[in-house]
Chain A
Amino acid sequence: MSTAAPSNERLFSPPAAACAWLWPGLGHIVLGEKRRGLLIMFGVLFLFFSGLLIGGFDAVDRVDDRLWFLAQALCGPIAFVADFINQSVIKDPNVLASFDETRTTGLARVNEIGTLFIALAGLMNLTVIIDALHFAPKDSGRDGSNAASTPRRRSEDQAA
């Protein structure tokens, strides 16, 4: 009688990585890890929208904060949409006539932290993209059939 050995093979999946960039968590959902993908989506979008709430749309600025935007762009198209809104709406004095520029521009720590939140969301999404690109299928515990009482890291699974 033979038993199936746990597989340590990693899938190389560029389409999943592309999906992970298009929308945070989508790469893992495409790979069949729905709950994991939803948790990733929650985490990245939580950081992204927290940053937008703290610093306003001014926290995403492709023109004035180009280096920060390189990290923020890893969140996917939503970062480009936020930048587009910033450039075409927030920075346009004709659109928000009732708000003077000093109110819609993030200053000091509020701007720094808002920018940092979104940049960290992008950098964390980079780890998610890499994880989706070289995806290690979980051989147990997904359906609870072989679940241990304590969570294990993948490296521990490979060592076992």
Chain B
Amino acid sequence: MMFPLLLGYLPFVVPLHFFNTWWYVLLVPLAFGIAVIYKATRLARLEDFWRQVIIMTTQIILAMIGLAIALTVLVQLVIPRLPVG
């Protein structure tokens, strides 16, 4: 039910509260923006720029997913099994 949330919405004035639930989707544009700036400054040649950006965006997202899985395993499985005292 996204439509009622958009009633009276004014871009840049009213925050997109919808993303309080779907905040992790925003990792994609964040990784994309970082990759564009990084590759624009680092690559000596820009012929293959957008392919490099897509690769780096994917790498960042996969790394974050990997970190999330590792932390979940640590917090949910490993730490509860540690001896107390």
Contacts and interface: CB of A to CB of B under 8 A. Distances in A.
Chain A bound to chain B: yes
Interface of A: 35-36, 39-40, 42-44, 46-47, 50, 52-59, 90, 96, 99, 103-111, 113-114, 116-117, 120-121, 124-125, 127-128, 131, 138, 140-141, 144, 147-148, 150-154, 156-157
A54 B36 contact: no
* Interface class of chain A by DSSP: helix
Interface string B39-78: 0111111111100100000000000000000000000000
B6 interface: no
Interface residues of B, number: 32
Contacts of B4: none
Chain B binding surface SS class: helix
Interface of B: 8, 10-17, 19-20, 23, 26, 29-30, 32-34, 36-38, 40-49, 52
